[in-house]
Amino acid sequence: MKLRQLKLNQCLACGCIFFFFIMILKFTSSGCDLDTAIQTGDLNIEHCRDHYYKALNLSASGSKNCAKIIEGDLEEVRLALIDNLDIKKRKVMTNDTEYIKLTKDCTTFKKMKKYVLFSMSNEERNYPIAFSMVIHNDIEMFERLLRSIYAPQNIYCVHVDRKSPDTFHQAVRAIASCFDNVFVASKLESVVYASWSRVQADINCMEDLLNSTVEWKYFINTCGADFPLKTNAEIVTALKSLGGKNSMESEAPTAPKKARWEYHFEVKDYVVRTDVRKDPPPLNVPIYSGNAYIVITREFVKSLFVTDFARDFMNWAKDTYSPDEFLWASLHRVPWIPGSFPQHRKYDTSDLIALARLVKWGGHEGDINHGAPYSECTGKHRRDVCVYGSGDLQWLLQQHHLFANKFDPKVDDHVIQCLEEHLRFRTFYGHFM
């Protein structure tokens, strides 16, 4: 009798354990179907985080170990750099026509490319950001950049150079058509290097973004050779920390740069200096040196269209050389422009201090132990700017900047793939791999 009771108790215990196991299994998997969750809006991210990450991770291809490359493992970096030399191993880039075909079914396209189609937190959902993306070629790099910064609460204006091939225009519009918050600028420019047209491309997007229904907080401009160093959550945190201020390079100019706005320039196939000297800028405001890439408040953007001084200053700058490299930096120091900094030299800000863009200039590379601001580029140089290689990745991720420039998959796709893998992991887990 006691034996039968013991066996019965054992069976009941086993049954309870089995039932408990089934319920745990059911609980941990219920409500975590990604497609259904996106459709219903019932995401339960905390509960389903691992399930969603498994579906949306961007693991780098090949045998490279991105975690080791990020840690600066010299052997892993060496293998990645050697791999770049093997032409047979280079990634075949997806072309315009292929993207046009892929985007005929937007649902499949977004799922295949693993876009994160939901806000990761209430903080991000309530802090939308506006982006302009000024591009002219390399459709795959554009799409990968879009994927890396995409969040449904943000809004994205894409400016395509009017000179770009028709198939490129079609491919960009096809990708944009798959998203409610991505659009092509209503006015397109034929962009000439170092001319006003580069500034006008961003201004066209700014105007479109202001006319959108999204109440975005900050504007960030990008180009096709950029890639983010931070997740959307980290960008939001950085923007909030600015306290309503802008962030960009803005310094007293060197003597050679002053010729860029002291003479009238003409635009042909390229920008040509004349012997005609220009009048001083409106109100004789001081000119500061900076670059094209900026982090500015919504109020700053609004002021460009409603402030007489801003309009006059932009009109004055239209016949200068590379106005994007002084226009924003100078407006940033005008006292009545929203989010500006004082004109005193103590408020000068270098590109290494500003949030906007991290660049390795060839003329400044060297031995950090002997005073150089950064080590030598491990990729290649283009117009004296480093196109990053795998050996630059550890340094890149140690910096506070939101974006870096330049990247090119034809030079080193490993560094981009590892960034994609790393950022996607941090998007879900908030820490390094």
What amino acid positions are annotated as catalytic residues? 325
Per DSSP, the residues of 38-91 read HHHS---HHHHHHHHHHHH--PPSSS--HHHHHHT-HHHHHHHHHHHT-GGGSP
What residues does 220 pair with on adjacent strands?
A: 131, 295
Reported as type and span, the H/E element at residue 358 is: strand 357-358
**C-alpha to C-alpha distance for 415 and 417, rounded to whole angstroms:** 6
Name the CA radius of gyration of the chain, rounded: 25
Identify the burial level of 229 via C-beta atoms within 10 angstroms of its C-beta, where 0-12 means exposed, 13-18 middle and 19 or more buried. Answer: buried
Cα dihedral 269, 270, 274, 280 in deg (nearest 10) = 120
- Contact indicator for 292, 324 with CB cutoff of 8 Å: yes
Using alpha carbons only, what angle is made at residue 191 by residues 188 and 195, rounded to the nearest 5 degrees? 125
